[in-house]
Amino acid sequence: MDISTNIIDLMYLTNSKTFNPNATIQSKALYTDSDLKLYKRQIFEQTRDILTGKDVDKQIKSAFDEYVKLSIDHFKFLKKRDVIQGDYSNIKTREKKLGKIDYKETNKLMYKKDKPVHRRITDCIAVKRKTKIKKKMIIPKQRDFSNHKAVKKTVKPTEKKVAEKDNIIIRYDEKKIKEKDKKKQKK
């Protein structure tokens, strides 16, 4: 980083009276109070002579001219300030009193908002969807078969086998049973 630019920035962008790059030590008072008290009368006389046009030392005359120029600029500024402030004298300001604070609203401002809902094209267009039909599962009543005897019938292997046990009919196809057995054996 180039430090020289910082000094240049301070020299041109700040008030020259408050920043002096050459003065590293704070300036001492130019005069004492006792000197001012002693020479006060002579200073007033010299100022009166300058204002009336009498001859005075060139350095003092140039310093006084600078002083007059700064004083005139200052008084012009004060006059402009008073005129501009006078334009705003008729404006009434309302003092707004704080009411009850709504914490829900302030929390909405401070905290993260919920993630936006992702829209899908199916939300806007009517789409027919195929759904699988759930098979109804019939659960038989629980019964006690310990006292009953099962009835067995002989059935040909190609036909459907039907076995009856106390009002319970079980039907199954032999081909399906063989396919299930093959699947089990493969696993």
Q: Which two tokens stand for residue 24?
A: 């590293």
Residue with tokens 């000094």: 7
> pLDDT 10s per residue in the chain (187 long)?
556 667 777 777 777 666 665 655 556 788 899 999 999 999 999 999 999 999 989 999 999 999 999 999 999 999 999 999 998 888 877 777 777 888 888 888 788 777 777 888 877 888 777 787 777 777 777 777 676 655 555 545 544 444 444 455 555 566 777 787 888 787 6
Separation of alpha carbons 145 and 165, rounded Å? 9
Q: What pLDDT score was predicted for residue 20?
A: 62
Q: What pLDDT score was predicted for residue 61?
A: 93
DSSP for 8-28, written as a single string: HHHHHHS-TTT--TT--SPPP
Q: What pLDDT score was predicted for residue 65?
A: 93
Q: Name the pTM for this structure.
A: 0.36
Helices (H) and strands (E) in the chain, counts: 5, 2
3-class SS at 98?
coil
Q: List the one residue out of 52, 50, 44, 42 whose CA is nearest residue 66.
A: 50
Secondary structure of 125-180 in the HEC alphabet? CCCCCCCCCCCCCCCCCCCCCCCCCCECCCCCCCCCEEEEECCEEEEECHHHHHHH
